[in-house]
């Protein structure tokens, strides 16, 4: 089982308002709990886009697993963990069930079923990669670092809190851009509009990489951005992560930062 947290971009405005973009990897079975935090802007890896063969390899070799094998009791929390053969048996059955579903997914794929369906049967054992941007973190930490939270999201939240604590935000002047997945060198080489588009495309993919594993070109990034914002209806979640420093303002779910989405939706011909 894998839980990974790293900072992608961390910025502060002239009033000290901070915006942080992170990359998270965690068990897909806690994804619904992450989605309840509306202060977050998110993009996540999709089983509709990842090839079945790649998903099966990940599930077979590194299945998402519980971090706490709680004994059955009344209520939502399992305070006491199974031990001995009971814990070992449950761990074996969990892994075996994942491998069985890998076989089902592979067989349906071989028959000709599209990955958007064939990948669904292994979701319980999948990890998910998510890009998260926010200016508000206290509520997430208060709820998810709490002993009553499910152990897997506790583990995620504690890593997020620790990583954010040691991260040093980069100061930006008013109107300057927070741009995940665009390096300082990239900012110098690209026009501002181009850098914003590249950042949005990479946030959409949740990586510098295409789903096949190759690094995207700038042309591919610009083409994906155009496809997102010009779609009918447009796909706007990837343009929530790029934000201009705007101290004192509240712009949708961001405080002190105006997202590119906000600008596109509120400024004609932006």
Q: Are residues 155 and 189 in the same domain?
A: no
Half-sphere exposure of 36 (CA within 13 A, CB side): 8
The angle at the Cα of 189, spanning 188 to 192, to the nearest 5 degrees, equals 70
Q: Are residues 68 and 10 in the same domain?
A: yes
Do 43 and 83 lie in one domain? The reply is yes
The whole domain housing 77 covers 4-166
Q: What is the pLDDT of residue 188?
A: 82
Provide the token pair at 193: 């509009």
For residue 199, how many C-alpha atoms fall within 13 Å in the half-sphere facing its CB?
Answer: 29
pLDDT for res 212: 53
For 5-39, give the DSSP string.
EEEEEEEE-TT--EEEEEEEEEEGGGHHHHTT-TT
> How many domains does the structure of the chain reveal?
2
Q: Write down the pTM of the prediction.
A: 0.93
pLDDT tens, residue by residue, 162-175: 999 999 999 999 99
Q: Do residues 113 and 181 share a domain?
A: no
């Amino acid at each position: 089982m894998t839980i990974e947290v790293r900072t992608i971009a961390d910025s502060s405005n002239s009033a000290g308002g901070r915006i942080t973009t992170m990359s998270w990897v965690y068990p897909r079975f806690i994804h619904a709990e992450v989605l309840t935090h509306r202060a977050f802007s998110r993009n996540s890896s999709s089983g509709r886009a990842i090839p079945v063969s790649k998903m099966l390899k990940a599930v077979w070799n590194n299945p998402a697993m519980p971090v706490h094998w709680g004994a059955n009791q009344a209520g939502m929390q399992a305070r006491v963990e199974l031990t001995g053969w009971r814990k070992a048996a449950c761990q074996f059955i969990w892994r075996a069930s994942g491998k069985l579903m890998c076989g089902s997914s592979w067989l349906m794929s071989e028959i000709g079923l599209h990955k958007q369906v064939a990948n669904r049967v292994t979701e319980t054992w999948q990890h998910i990669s998510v890009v998260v941007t926010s200016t508000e973190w206290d509520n997430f930490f208060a709820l998810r670092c709490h002993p009553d939270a499910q152990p897997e999201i506790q583990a995620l939240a504690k890593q997020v809190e620790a990583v954010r604590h040691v991260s040093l935000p980069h100061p930006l002047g008013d109107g300057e851009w927070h741009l995940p997945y665009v390096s300082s060198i990239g900012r110098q080489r690209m026009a501002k509009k181009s850098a914003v588009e590249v950042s949005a495309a990479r946030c959409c993919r949740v990586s510098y990489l295409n789903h096949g594993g190759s690094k995207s070109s700038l042309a591919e990034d610009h083409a994906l951005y155009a496809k997102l914002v010009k779609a009918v209806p447009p796909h706007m979640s990837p343009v929530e992560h790029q934000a201009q420093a705007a101290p004192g303002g509240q712009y949708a779910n961001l405080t002190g930062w105006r997202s590119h989405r906000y600008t596109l939706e509120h400024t004609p011909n932006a």
